[in-house]
């Protein structure tokens, strides 16, 4: 009498809308990883000598490390020799100087994804760096940003143009040997975005990177480095999609943020990597290390993430609060459906005095998915009057999914205040029926209830992203009612 | 407009309604009274399409359509409204958002354009005034932290905005103090007109002091055992239900 089995069947068969493949001529390394591959990679990218050293050091360390197994995740063993570590559209060899030189097929691909790179069509106010497999294919509004003194370019370009700046900061937040996936990334990362906001500058537009995995059997290893100099402000967004493929693909990124005195960075993510089919076949392994250092006094970093994609997500965007009076924030919505797994959360490391952190995590589990929040709040002896508030809510849709919470709290300073609130709830049949009785379809009802549950996080997202995130939640939940 | 014929309903194979027959004409107000467990709430749930009930026999025709064939949201869009006995809370979803989504779902079904935010606000504010509610209600999450009386008033507000053809009030008087009962009843009375029909389910006669029914039915053991005018309710108040149980209508 309520949603029919047929209707559910139909909804489940809805396709991942970004799952198409772009046919392009590409330069791809044969699968395999050794020091020669890394040398070749560094050479293809014409990198300064220090980068090759950096990569080799990371690679040697990585070889000694075991793959982490502490997360609440079931991961099939990954054959790192079966992955290709570099794939780039052929036309990109020299790097286009302007958008006119970008392969029209690539422009089409981004247009299809709803990210027109043509500056005329672009919503004014957002600059985009488009990363396709291993390389950045276009960056918009570079000129306008340059006028403000802002550097926004592919990190491979930054290594050519501003090697000293990259050298100074790269690996200073996430060292090469930090963890297994960060070490791998440090050895083989190919591209990503580089942002530098000079002293006292408020970045005149939102910056964004759109990551697209296209090639088969490749990994995407991107590296993002954002430096906000004293008194500067920047808001950065990232989005991700990939084609539907039966094989799992690895995405192991590292993001480093540095905020100096009185600087503010707002980093928002809408992650919609291909999640695999309803039987758990295929999908992206999203193993990402994101960390920010609030190095300066009174600096602030805010992470907002909406994670709806990927077969497996392993990700803990963190803040190291070094500067006195610095602030770290983490707002997260993680949604898993079908056989998706997510183990995600944050770390707030309080070192400076009067440092404050806020964590709001909303986990939604549907289908047979497993969703884990894992968070660490650490207050060092030096962090007098540190404060943290954590709120961690889980919502279950149906009765075959799971929600787990692992909060770790380590406090070495007696004046610290740490609060943790947690709830677990279920969308009840009564809520669904109530909405249907008011004329809403079951799927609209679930989407509305889930959006209500996520409201606190969505209000942290930039306007356009919030709208996108709401729509995405609706799509990701299709077929979840039953 | 509503014709229920010989309706038999089971829950987990247990018979609850056992041959219920009832006809409601446009504009009529019918009250259904009866002892606990007689099947009153089952009737409201079956009419609105809640899952978990099996119709084993009989039919329900609503404005010429087989009501039981329709999905719950379609019934709602066709004008069947249930004011819940226990309205649920939906955290984070504001009342006004739900109301707008619901109204637009109805309008879409009727082939009408969606209302824009400004027009909608005008509609809502006039209804809020009619029901003597505070506009703040609109921006609070649906029923979250509402008192019993506020929840019931909120149900009537929804009815006022969605303008149903058939309004089923499931024990709308339960949990209300005398002032709240009066306000809710005034709200219901303001919705009465020549086309709109009401089916009121209640234990107590006192609701009928405020909302005057055209017909009163007694539901006992899954059947209507007696029907009459408003005076029947007074008789029930005096004599209880036991004298009617086991009787046929």
Report pLDDT digits (tens) over A26-69.
677 888 899 999 999 899 889 999 999 999 999 999 999 998 88
Q: What is the pLDDT of residues B87-127, one digit of tens each?
A: 999 998 999 999 999 999 999 999 999 998 888 999 999 99
Helix (H/G/I), strand (E/B), else coil: A264: strand
Within a domain: A6: no
On whether any CB of chain B is under 8 Å from the CB of A244, the answer is: no
Q: What are B242's two structure tokens? A: 């036991």
Would you call B92 and A439 a contact, using CB atoms and an 8 Å cutoff?
A: no
In CATH, what number is assigned to the domain containing residue B238?
A: 3.40.50.300
Would you state the pLDDT for residue A270?
83
A23 falls in which pLDDT band (50, 70, 90)?
low
Average pLDDT over residues A405-430: 92
* Concatenated DSSP letters of B5-16: EEEEEEETTEEE
Residues of chain B falling short of pLDDT 70: 245-249
The backbone region for A63, taken as left when phi is positive above 0, alpha when psi lies in -120 to 50, beta otherwise, is alpha
Average pLDDT over residues A418-432: 90
On whether any CB of chain B is under 8 Å from the CB of A440, the answer is: yes
Residues 105-144 of B with CB under 8 A from A: 105-106, 109, 141
Domain total of chain A: 2
Q: How far apart are CA B153 and CA B157, in angstroms?
A: 6
Q: How far apart are CA A134 and CA B215, in angstroms?
A: 76
pLDDT at A14 over 60: no
On whether any CB of chain B is under 8 Å from the CB of A424, the answer is: no
Q: In angstroms, what CA-CA distances link A473 with A272, A443, A446, A465, B199?
A: 10, 11, 10, 12, 38
A455 falls in which pLDDT band (50, 70, 90)?
confident
Lowest mean pLDDT of A27-31, A318-322, A452-456, B28-32, name the range: A27-31
In a shared domain, residues A420 and A475: no
Q: What is the pLDDT of residues A108-147, one digit of tens each?
A: 766 666 666 665 444 545 677 777 766 666 677 777 888 8
Residue where one domain finishes, among candidates A382, A406, A428? A428
In a shared domain, residues A310 and A443: no
Would you state the pLDDT for residue A138?
67
Within a domain: A4: no
A210 falls in which pLDDT band (50, 70, 90)?
confident
Q: How many beta-carbon contacts under 8 Å exist across A and B?
A: 87
Q: How far apart are CA A78 and CA A181, in angstroms?
A: 12
Would you state the pLDDT for residue A12?
35
In a shared domain, residues A329 and A444: no
The partner residue sitting opposite B105, judged by closest CB among A434, A439, A455, is A439
Which chain B residues contact residue A439 at CB under 8 A? 73, 76-77, 102, 105-106, 109, 162
Q: What is the pLDDT of residues A330-382, one digit of tens each?
A: 999 888 888 888 889 999 999 999 999 999 999 988 888 889 999 999 999 99
Would you state the pLDDT for residue B248?
47
Q: What is the mean pLDDT of chain A?
A: 84
What lies within 8 Å, CB to CB, of B196 at 6+ separation is B26, B27, B163, B164, B165, B166, B167
Within a domain: B87: yes
- Length of chain A counted residue by residue: 482
Within a domain: B249: no
Identify the top-confidence range among A204-208, A469-473, B70-74: B70-74
On whether any CB of chain B is under 8 Å from the CB of A257, the answer is: no
In a shared domain, residues A299 and A433: no
Which chain A residues contact residue B71 at CB under 8 A? 1-4, 436
Q: Identify which has the larger pLDDT, A268 or A482.
A: A268
Would you state the pLDDT for residue B203?
84
Average pLDDT over residues A180-188: 94
In a shared domain, residues A357 and A474: no
Domain containing residue A438: 429-482
What pTM did the predictor assign?
0.81
**ipTM score of complex:** 0.95
Residue where one domain finishes, among candidates A394, A411, A428? A428
What lies within 8 Å, CB to CB, of A256 at 6+ separation is A169, A170, A171, A172, A173, A174, A223, A224, A225, A226, A291, A292, A293
On whether any CB of chain A is under 8 Å from the CB of B98, the answer is: yes
Q: What are B207's two structure tokens? A: 């609701």
Domain total of chain B: 1
In a shared domain, residues A82 and A134: yes
Within a domain: A478: yes
In a shared domain, residues A413 and A453: no
């Amino acid at each position: 009498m309520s949603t029919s089995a047929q209707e559910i069947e139909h909804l489940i068969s809805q396709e991942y809308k970004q799952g198409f493949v772009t046919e392009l001529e590409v330069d791809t390394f044969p699968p395999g990883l050794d020091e020669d591959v890394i040398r070749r990679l560094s050479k293809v990218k014409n990198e300064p000598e220090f980068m090759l050293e950096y990569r080799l050091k990371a690679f040697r360390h990585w070889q000694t490390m075991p793959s982490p197994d502490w997360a609440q995740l079931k991961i099939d063993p990954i054959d790192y020799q079966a992955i290709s570590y570099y794939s780039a559209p052929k036309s990109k060899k020299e790097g286009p100087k302007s958008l006119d030189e970008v392969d029209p097929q690539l422009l089409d691909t981004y247009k299809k994804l709803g990210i027109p790179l043509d500056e005329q069509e672009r919503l004014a106010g957002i600059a985009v760096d488009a990363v396709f497999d291993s390389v950045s294919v276009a960056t918009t509004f570079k000129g306008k940003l340059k006028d403000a003194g802002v550097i926004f370019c592919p990190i491979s370009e930054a290594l050519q143009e501003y090697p000293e700046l990259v050298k100074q900061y790269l690996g200073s937040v996430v060292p090469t040997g930090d963890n297994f996936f960060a070490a791998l990334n440090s050895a083989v990362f190919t591209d990503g975005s580089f942002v530098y906001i000079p002293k006292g500058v408020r970045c005149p537009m939102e910056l964004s990177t759109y990551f697209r995995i296209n090639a088969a059997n490749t990994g995407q290893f991107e590296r993002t480095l954002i430096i906000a100099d004293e008194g500067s402000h920047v808001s950065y967004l990232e989005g991700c999609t990939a084609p539907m493929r039966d094989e799992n693909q690895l995405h192991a990124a590292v993001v480093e943020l540095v905020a100096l005195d009185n600087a503010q960075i707002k980093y928002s993510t809408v992650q919609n990597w291909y999640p695999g089919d309803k039987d758990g076949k295929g999908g992206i392994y999203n193993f990402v290390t994101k960390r920010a250092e609030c190095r300066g006094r009174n600096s602030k970093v805010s992470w907002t993430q909406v994670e709806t994609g990927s077969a497996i997500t392993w990700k803990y965007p963190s803040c190291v609060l070094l500067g006195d009076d610095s602030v770290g924030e983490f707002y997260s919505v993680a949604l898993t459906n079908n056989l998706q797994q997510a183990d995600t959360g944050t770390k707030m490391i309080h070192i400076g005095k009067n440092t404050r952190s806020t964590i709001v995590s909303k986990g939604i589990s549907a289908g047979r998915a497993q969703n884990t929040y894992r968070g660490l709040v650490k207050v060092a002896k030096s962090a007098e009057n540190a404060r943290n508030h954590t709120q961690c809510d889980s919502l279950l849709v149906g009765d075959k999914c799971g929600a787990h919470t692992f909060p770790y709290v380590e406090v070495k300073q007696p004046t610290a205040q740490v609060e943790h609130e947690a709830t677990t709830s279920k969308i009840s049949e009564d809520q669904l029926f109530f909405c249907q009785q008011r004329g809403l379809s079951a799927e609209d009802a679930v989407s509305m209830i889930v959006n209500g549950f996520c409201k606190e996080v969505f209000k942290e997202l930039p306007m356009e992203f919030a709208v996108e995130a709401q729509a995405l939640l609706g799509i990701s939940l299709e077929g979840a009612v039953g | 407009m509503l014709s229920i014929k010989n309706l038999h309903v089971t829950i987990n194979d247990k018979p609850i309604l056992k041959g219920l027959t009832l006809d409601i004409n446009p504009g009529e107000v019918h009250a259904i009274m009866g002892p606990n467990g007689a099947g009153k709430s089952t009737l409201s749930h079956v009419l609105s399409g809640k899952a978990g009930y099996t119709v084993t026999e009989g039919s329900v025709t609503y404005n010429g359509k087989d009501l039981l064939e329709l999905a719950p949201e379609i019934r709602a869009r066709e004008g069947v409204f249930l004011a819940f006995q226990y309205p649920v809370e939906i955290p984070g979803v504001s009342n006004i958002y739900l109301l707008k989504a619901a109204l637009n779902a109805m309008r879409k079904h009727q082939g009408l354009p969606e209302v824009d935010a400004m027009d909608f606000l005008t509609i809502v504010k006039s209804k809020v005034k009619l029901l003597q509610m505070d506009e703040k209600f609109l921006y609070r999450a649906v029923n979250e932290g509402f008192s019993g009386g506020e929840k019931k008033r909120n149900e009537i507000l929804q009815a006022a905005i969605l303008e149903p053809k058939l309004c089923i009030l499931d024990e709308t008087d339960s949990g209300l103090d005398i002032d709240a009962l009066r306000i809710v009843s005034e709200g219901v009375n303001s919705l009465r007109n020549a086309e709109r029909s009401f089916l009121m389910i209640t234990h107590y006669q006192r609701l009928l002091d405020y909302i005057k029914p055209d017909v009163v039915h007694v539901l006992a053991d899954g059947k209507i055992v007696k029907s009459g005018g408003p005076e029947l309710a007074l008789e029930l108040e005096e004599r209880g239900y036991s004298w009617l149980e086991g009787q046929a209508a």
